[in-house]
């Protein structure tokens, strides 16, 4: 069983390079992986990847959620694979061909994660988007369908909420790693942000999550390092239980 730190993914959802570097330096010893998303990567580009690699021993999760025609995704993934990151995301909401192209472009040099259903999405959103009731009213069914597609096309893992990870692990076993955003520690309420499908670290790990993406509870704390340490205690307790 891996140590608590290796479960914790901190998303660098900040608008400036300096802010990102500050969090990286403050959390280098508490976080097993840093996530670089669209906002920061658009601002900083590969420079921030290089900084993480030189300043820490943490893994790097490039969360770009690629979604385009297969040829474009394949070429883009080949470029990303040369950056030395560990994981990168691509949407599962399109075709089998796109996911296959992503895996081919990665060439085994970076793990491809299929994004199933964003944690900001709820049933009314799917209904408004025109999904059939069987999927709009049962998000777990839609997540399973997309996760199965990710597995069949050779993806390393999937991104799903903690509400679905348990059923996915029962259906698909450990053939895919599961990265779960929308995690809120037991000592913090869900609040009023855009995450709708949230669970605690304990619940997610007990259900089989391999990585927990935890941002706001750490980023918004007066002492981010102390907040991360408190979360690691919560994770550690769940592993012992």
> Which residues in the chain belong to E strands, given as ranges?
8-11, 33-37, 59-66, 87-91, 111-115, 157-159, 177-180, 211-213
Residue 79 structural domain: 4-235
CA distance linking residue 210 with residue 205, whole number of Å: 7
Query: What does the pLDDT read at residue 119?
Result: 78
Q: What is the domain-level CATH number for residue 97?
A: 3.20.20.70
**Residues with a known catalytic role:** 65
Per-residue pLDDT of the chain (241 residues; tens, 9 = 90+): 799 999 999 999 998 999 999 999 999 999 999 999 999 999 999 999 999 999 999 999 999 999 999 999 999 999 999 999 999 999 998 789 999 999 999 999 999 999 998 878 888 888 887 878 777 778 888 999 999 999 999 999 999 999 999 999 999 999 999 999 989 887 765 454 555 557 899 999 999 999 999 999 999 999 999 999 999 999 998 887 6
* 3 state SS of 202: helix
72 Cβ contact partners less than 8 Å away, ≥ 6 residues apart = none
On whether residue 23 sits in a domain, the answer given is yes
On whether residue 240 sits in a domain, the answer given is no
On whether residue 168 sits in a domain, the answer given is yes
On whether residue 27 sits in a domain, the answer given is yes
On whether residue 163 sits in a domain, the answer given is yes
Distances (CA, A) of 60 to 31, 50, 81, 89, 206: 11, 10, 12, 12, 24
Q: How many CB atoms lie within 10 A of CB 29?
A: 13
Query: What does the pLDDT read at residue 75?
Result: 98
On whether residue 241 sits in a domain, the answer given is no
Q: What share of the chain is helix, strand, coil (3-state, %, to 5)?
A: 50, 15, 35
Number of independent structural domains in the chain: 1
């Amino acid at each position: 069983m891996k140590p608590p730190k290796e479960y914790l993914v901190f998303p660098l959802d900040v608008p400036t390079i300096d802010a990102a570097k500050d969090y990286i330096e403050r959390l280098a010893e508490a976080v097993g992986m840093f996530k670089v998303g669209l906002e920061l990567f658009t601002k900083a580009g590969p420079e921030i990847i290089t900084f993480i690699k030189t300043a820490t021993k943490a893994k790097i999760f490039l969360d770009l959620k690629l979604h385009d025609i297969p040829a474009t995704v394949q070429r883009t993934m080949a470029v990303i694979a040369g950056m030395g990151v560990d994981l990168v995301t691509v949407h599962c909401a399109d075709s089998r061909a796109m996911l296959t192209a992503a895996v081919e472009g990665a060439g085994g040099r970076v793990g491809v994660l299929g994004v199933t259903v964003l944690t900001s999405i709820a049933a009314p959103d799917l209904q408004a988007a025109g999904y059939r009731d069987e999927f709009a009213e049962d998000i777990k069914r839609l997540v399973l369908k997309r996760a199965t597609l990710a597995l069949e096309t050779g993806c390393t893992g999937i991104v799903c909420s903690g509400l679905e990870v348990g059923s996915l692990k029962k259906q698909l076993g450990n053939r895919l790693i599961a990265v779960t955003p929308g995690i809120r520690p037991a000592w913090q309420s869900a609040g009023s942000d855009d995450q709708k499908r949230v669970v605690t670290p304990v619940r997610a790990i007990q259900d089989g999550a391999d990585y927990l993406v935890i941002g706001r509870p750490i980023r918004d704390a007066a002492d981010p390092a102390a907040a991360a340490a408190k979360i690691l205690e919560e994770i550690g307790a769940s592993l012992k239980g």
